[in-house]
Structure 1
Amino acid sequence: MYETLIASLASIAAMATVAITLIQWKFDERAKERQRDVEMTKWANSVIDMMAELETACAPVGELEYSSQQVETISHHASALLDKGRLFFPNVPSRSNQPDDEGTRVEILDQVLRACYIARHVAAQRPFDGDLFRRHVWQARRKFVNLVQKEMGASLRMVVEQHKGESIDKNPEKWSAPKRKLNLPERIDSSLGGRSIHQTGREIAS
């Protein structure tokens, strides 16, 4: 009877060890997934920043102009981000038996490559339609963000109908007046005879 008890305890201890090992493995896997999400988020943020700057470089709204060297800097940044993205998204294996066939690039990296090609074209100072290129980059950025959201779906905050925003007019002058008071020091412009810019604005409004 004593030997049976010892055998039972040993069996229970073995099962407990297996259970603890499985639990630890699950925790380790979750930690790896969280770390991957953190690294991917940093990479995605850099891609978004790069694309936003490239949009402006293609067709600045105001008098700002980008030099060829500045756009070249954006180009090599885009190229580096493309290869960094391959650390998260390797190529889809090809069915070809060719030794030099590296497979097919995934869709999310296609968007980064689009930005890279446009930056190279603009940096080379070739004739181009700035507004068209800017729309291409904007479209690639929206597609990129959507694809990143799908990749990180389990990590994103759950949203429901009550979180839905509102339609916002593109012209800020048509927005309703702010209800929250903002206290800022008044700026003085010598061209206004010593009057503050805020004062002038109020006079114009009145």
Structure 2
Amino acid sequence: MNLMTLTDGALATFVVGLVTFVQWWVSERARTRQRDTEMVHWGGEVIDLMAALEARCEFPEFESDAPTYFQLIVKASALIDRGRLFFPNVITKSIATTAKPPAYRGHRVALLDELVRTYLLAKHLADPANGFEPIFKRKMREARRRFVSGLQTEMGRTLRRSSREKAGVSIPADPRKW
């Protein structure tokens, strides 16, 4: 065996290793993009739900085609559990109990707390014995803002960034002042 054959073999092994690494890297990027796409879709549904409940809080007398509180409760409950697929509970020693199914052990992540608030507010408003309070609209808007900010943080570097020159302006709430 001569030196040239050894060098050719080493080069071939290196090339195969490099190609394997590139294939792995491309597949990992595709998997990350798929997860991000699914997370954006889920997040969009959560935002829609929160906006619907916020509108119900702002216009409680408007019933027309608005989703019922029951529909909002069901949707919120399902979105909480779907969110656990992206954000599993945080397990700590103090709550590492086996009394619950594995997906429900520990503390849910803070991002899902905002969705739980949505669920609880919808349940509260669904009960005619509970009174409506104008502060609910503000609380729902704050929960939605925390959710959107938290989701952006979770998605981190995969989000598209906007440059400063694309920044909008503050728009008065009164359309006559536009």
TM-score greater than 0.5 by the shorter chain: yes
Per-residue deviation, residues 112-134 of structure 1 (Å, max 9, x unmatched): 00000011111122323331112
Per-residue deviation, residues 85-128 of structure 1 (Å, max 9, x unmatched): 00000001112343236111101100000000011111122323
Partner of 2:75: 77
In 1, Cα distance between equivalents of 2:170 and 2:55: 24
Aligned ranges for residues 118-157 of structure 1 at < 5 Å? 118-157=121-160
In 2, Cα distance between equivalents of 1:16 and 1:33: 26
In 2, Cα distance between equivalents of 1:98 and 1:78: 26
If asked which structure has higher relative contact order (CA below 8 Å, sep 6+), I would say 2
In 1, Cα distance between equivalents of 2:109 and 2:168: 32
In 2, Cα distance between equivalents of 1:29 and 1:115: 34
**Partners of 2:50 and 2:144 within 8 A in 1:** yes
Partner of 1:13: 12
In 2, Cα distance between equivalents of 1:5 and 1:126: 88
Unaligned 5+ runs, structure 2 = none
> Could you say what the CA RMSD is over the residues aligned between the two structures, in angstroms?
1.9
- After TM superposition, give the deviation of residue 158 of structure 1 in Å: 1.9
Matched positions, count: 172
**4+ residue runs over 3 A deviation:** none
Normalised by the length of structure 1, the TM-score is 0.77
Partner of 2:24: 25
What secondary structure sits across from 2:85 in the alignment?
coil
Partner of 2:90: 92
What's the % identity of the aligned pairs?
38
- After TM superposition, give the deviation of residue 6 of structure 1 in Å: 1.6
Q: Which moved more, 1:165-174 or 1:151-160?
A: 151-160
Q: Which moved more, 1:114-123 or 1:91-100?
A: 91-100
Normalised by the length of structure 2, the TM-score is 0.89
